[in-house]
Structure 1
Amino acid sequence: MSQAKTFDPNLAKLHAIEADIAAGKLQQAATSLNALNAATPADPRIYLAAAMLARAANNPKQEIASLQHAVAISPSWPPGHLELAKVYSRLARHDDAVATANRAVELVPKDLTVLEVAVAVAHAAGDTLTGRRHLQAAFALKPTDTRITKALGICLIALGDYRDAEAHWRNALVQDPDDWFVLGWLGACLIGLDRKEEAVEVLQRAIALSPGNPTLTFYLAVARGETPLTQPREMTQDLFDGYANRFDKHLVGELKYRVPKRVAEMIRDGSSGLHTSVLDLGCGTGLLGVYLGPISGAFVGVDVSAKMLEKAVPHGVYTELRQADLLDELRRISPESFEYIAANDVFIYVGDLSEIIPAAFHVLRHGGAMIFSCETADSAEGALVLRSSKRYAHSRESIEILCRDAGFSSCSFEMIDLRFDGGDVPIAGFIAVAHKA
């Protein structure tokens, strides 16, 4: 992908400029770049270096402009498109990122480096179909690459293409029959195909190779028709780390997610001029903070995903953000520290609340309230059920009992459609408000 020349007078100068940028000598780098650009304005590499300088100066607008110029003067040069796609993705301009990465692939369809970036960009955008296309192209070029093989298999399962996924994982198993990772994903695939007896056998083999693995144990319970009490932390953390860059747009825009806004209204209605303190469990990217705004007391957000917390920082409303397991954090906090505890669409990934609700009770001040949402389990499903979406649903009766046993004086419910899966399928749920007298 580099421009091969018998003699390249700019190469050494560009390396020197990059070294200056790395050393923080930004003004010196800028002076050298201006001189180089005046002498050879048609060299697109100058604008890649200019983009590097802009990023070091924390100037994303100029970074994009420099890369756009590189693409404009050399539209058939793949690195310009590739670097621009990376920047678009980093800045959450996902549609632009995918389109730009696709253009790079069109220019060099058999370049694994380009395909790898295109896959990463598609993944960040939540564009699984595009990701599959690029992964299939990469797999065709290098079918023995285990990273590509595993990524494609996971992608197929994410799309619900279980039949192709099964064939893919079984082929991967031929290469290494004792790969617990491959066996685990094959087991998950067989669960998706409702061939649970086969899944049990495969997952037992996987656990024998990776004893105590919490994710394998979780899927084995599902294959046996059991309801695991909770999801492993690793599963939740991986899910939301990968979701961070597109979380707000996807959840609020596409899924019409309304819970944080409603919970913010409840806190505002119950507080005098927002003179209160809030613990936001599973705060994610900080949507509750966006809707509630600054408050006079402590506003602490807790989440297992560091990448989600990074997105919450710019809102500037949280007094502290902590990466931690929710139950562990509740146990660390001093008793009677907060007037409100919120947990918006968090317990659908937690499952068993028999320890979290009592722990939250101790953290609440007298007169405070715990406000949280759950998907509604109907009478046929029981108190707690793990649905095929890998989300838990709770019955109102079970929540009321847990709150009463923990010491809450009352527990009221507001029925609400939590979100719309697929854009138009409402997911029934409720917001529970448990008061501490």
Structure 2
Amino acid sequence: MPSDFAPPAAAPRGAAAGPTQPSIARATAQFERMDPAGAVRELEPVLAADPASVEAWLLMARLRLALDENQAALEAASNAIALAPDDPRGPATASRAFSLLGRHDDAVAMAHRAVIADPKNPLWHDRVAWALLTADRHFSDAEQAARTAIGLDPNEAHYYFTHGLALDALGHADQARQALLTSLRMEPDNPAAQHRLAVLNGEAVRESAPKKRGLKLFGRKTG
């Protein structure tokens, strides 16, 4: 299954910028330059100096996911959740880690927790859809979650891509094709959407197992 790329998730309104923010910004910049290992090295002393930094733990979780260090990602996300239990980004990140660890019930539960915390954000509905698709279950619920994300942000190509995968999983090939075409009209160079459309058109072979590499939270590149 292609990676669940999605737009960046901003910090909640009112989140304070602490003294470690410049270091976090540098680590984020390294992440965006496709250097997650370097970003980890930048971030480790930040967490040693300020272990109560929610932003640093969230970024560390994303970095660990990019490095395929899924258990470490879960631990970092859990630290963020403990510090800020009402911030939906922690549960959403933990959900991704749980999916990659094969703990699908936990992944779905954490995704729903993010939705409960912030029901108007399409990112979290999209995460619910992906948690269910990765678990290979409850495809009708995944389709509904993807449709909700589109309703909340109809201008984001990624959500139509997710919707297309859910419709395909339900066996609705024509509707899935239309959703993928909509996604590609908005984002023509998306290789994952191109491939899935080619599969539906009989021009490519369907992948036999989900791919784990390249799964990055809340950013098409690495952000």
Give TM-score, length-normalised by structure 1.
0.35
Partners of 1:72 and 1:56 in 2: CA distance:
22
TM-aligned CA distance change 1:53 to 1:117, over 3 Å: closer
Which residue of the partner structure matches residue 30 of structure 1?
44
Partners of 1:99 and 1:89 in 2: CA distance:
11
Given residue 45 of structure 2, which amino acid in structure 1 is its aligned partner?
T
Partners of 2:45 and 2:165 in 1: CA distance:
48
Equivalent residue in structure 2 for 1:11, among 21, 24, 37: 21
Partners of 2:30 and 2:74 in 1: CA distance:
21
TM-aligned CA distance change 1:95 to 1:10, over 3 Å: same
Equivalent residue in structure 2 for 1:137, among 144, 148, 165: 148
TM-aligned CA distance change 1:126 to 1:58, over 3 Å: closer
Which residue of the partner structure matches residue 206 of structure 2?
238
What does residue range 15-414 of structure 1 map to in structure 2 within 5 Å?
Answer: 15-19=25-29, 22=35, 24-25=37-38, 26-27=40-41, 29-37=43-51, 41=52, 43-52=53-62, 54=64, 59-127=69-137, 128-142=139-153, 148=159, 152=163, 155-156=166-167, 158-159=169-170, 169=175, 181-182=177-178, 216=201, 232=202, 234=204, 237-240=205-208, 244-245=209-210, 307=211
Which has the larger share of strand? 1
SS at match of 1:238: coil
Q: Is the 8 A contact 1:29 1:53 kept in 2?
A: no
Which has the larger share of helix? 2
Deviations 1:105-163 (A, max 9, x none): 11122212222232222211113133122123224334676764575466356436x7x
Give TM-score, length-normalised by structure 2.
0.62
TM-aligned CA distance change 1:152 to 1:182, over 3 Å: same
TM-aligned CA distance change 1:157 to 1:65, over 3 Å: closer
List runs of 5+ in structure 2 lacking aligned partners: 1-9, 182-197, 214-223
Equivalent residue in structure 2 for 1:2, among 7, 11, 24: 11
Partners of 1:71 and 1:115 in 2: CA distance:
19
Partners of 2:102 and 2:161 in 1: CA distance:
26
Q: Is the 8 A contact 1:33 1:50 kept in 2?
A: no
Partners of 1:6 and 1:44 in 2: CA distance:
10
Q: Is the 8 A contact 2:71 2:97 kept in 1?
A: no
Q: Is the 8 A contact 2:123 2:149 kept in 1?
A: no
Deviations 1:155-177 (A, max 9, x none): 356436x7xx98xx5xx9xxxxx
Q: Is the 8 A contact 1:68 1:84 kept in 2?
A: yes
Which gives a bigger RCO, structure 1 or 2 (Cα 8 Å, sep 6+)?
2
RMSD of Structure 2 on Structure 1 (CA) = 4.0
